[in-house]
Amino acid sequence: MYNFLISPFVEFEFMRRALVGAIALALAGSPLGVFLLLRRMALTGDAMAHAILPGAAMGYLAAGLSLGPMTVGGFIAGLIVAVGSGVVARTTILREDASMAAFYLISLALGVTVISLRGSNIDLLHVLFGSVLALDDATLLLLASIATLTLIGLAFLYRPLVMETVDPGFLASVGNAGGPTQILFLMLVVLNLVGGFHALGTLLAVGMMMLPAAAARLIAKDIGSMIALAAAQGVLASYAGLIISFYAGLPSGPLIILIAGALYLLALAFGPAGGVLRRLRSRRHLEA
């Protein structure tokens, strides 16, 4: 059992690096996903994950697969889309989800086009799907720094975030913290999506945020428990996905997200806080 479950991480440095990077993403991204879910912004997270692509592509066009330019470019692009969609929603008849969808489609198409100007199909696949098994020291340091900054930021924003999630009107009535809280929260989301982009690519980065959060929502009823469960499921999906990919010879990033998806489906069926079976039992009890 030891040889099967532990040996790959002891013998191979690239497996240890992948596990550390994926755990950093899980610990920081999953709690953000809980708040995105509770604030009904799940699709916003998905759109913002794709919105970083043109900025990362510009960094790639300028310096190749270089960590710094692609990170800065992706962060700036994500912020532009997040702020731009809000401005459009407030100055036109379009709602924020419609403007976000428009920006997301434009960003995705622009990013793929920019990468195609200089790179190959291999480079495009690297950007879209990441390379969690090829994390170097600089990328690991970036992921660890993002995770640390995110957890500190969430500790600082926790109370206003919870208040705005549960009762936005109350927070607005007692002060002007709602606007700054939303901006700082979105900055943390973009920062984590940029970090996730380096390991899982733009198409899968949001999966580490939303799937564990959705599963936790079906299991737990209070926000603190949801955050803990989401982070734990993210860590479990990271470990299981890497182990299975090692022995099966399949891509690690997609398998990590598939394991997170399997945990979500289990919660969807058996979750005590809102799973399908619980709902069916409740209806039968009421009918009886």
For residue 98, the tally of other CB atoms under 10 A from its CB is 14
Q: What type of residue sits at position 132?
A: V
Asked whether 29 and 196 are in contact (CB, 8 A), the reply is yes
- Identify the weakest region by mean pLDDT among 167-171, 196-200, 214-218, 284-288: 284-288
Sign of CA dihedral 133, 137, 139, 142: positive
pLDDT in tens, 121-158: 666 677 777 788 888 889 999 999 999 999 999 999 89
Q: Report pLDDT digits (tens) over 32-67.
A: 999 999 888 777 777 788 788 888 888 877 877 778
Q: Residue 83 and residue 103: Cα distance in Å, rounded?
A: 11
- Measured CA to CA, the distance from residue 71 to residue 66 in angstroms comes to 9
Name 55's Cβ contacts closer than 8 Å, sequence gap at least 6.
Answer: 72, 73, 74, 75, 76, 77, 78, 80
CA distance 24 to 245: 19
Structure confidence at residue 30 (pLDDT)? 93
Q: What is the mean pLDDT of the chain?
A: 84
Cβ neighbour number for residue 125 with a 10 Å cutoff: 14
Domain-wise residue ranges, the chain: 2-287
Residue bearing the bigger pLDDT, 41 or 196 = 196
Rounded-to-integer distance, Cα 139 and Cα 135, Å: 6
pLDDT at 171: 59
CA angle 205, 209, 210 (to 5 degrees): 110
Provide the pLDDT confidence category of residue 91 given band limits of 50, 70 and 90.
Answer: confident
**Of 1-15, 51-65, 169-183, which gets the smallest average pLDDT?**
169-183
Task: Say which amino acid occupies 228.
Answer: A
Average pLDDT of the segment spanning 16-34: 94
The top-level CATH class assigned to 2-287 is mainly alpha
Cβ atoms of 60 and 127 within 8 Å: the answer is: yes
Lowest-confidence segment of 28-32, 164-168, 267-271 by average pLDDT: 164-168
- Read off the tokens for 102: 């428009």
* CB within 8 Å of 68: residues ≥ 6 apart: 59
User: Rounded to the nearest 5 degrees, what angle is found at the Cα of 50, between the Cα atoms of 164 and 34?
Assistant: 30
More confident position, 283 or 36: 36
pLDDT in tens, 201-259: 877 888 899 999 999 999 998 899 999 999 999 999 999 999 999 999 888 999 999 99
85 neighbors 96 (Cβ within 8 angstroms): yes
Contacts of 139 (CB under 8 A, 6+ apart): 21, 67, 198, 199
Average of per-residue pLDDT across 253-281: 87
What per-residue confidence (pLDDT) applies to 257? Answer: 93
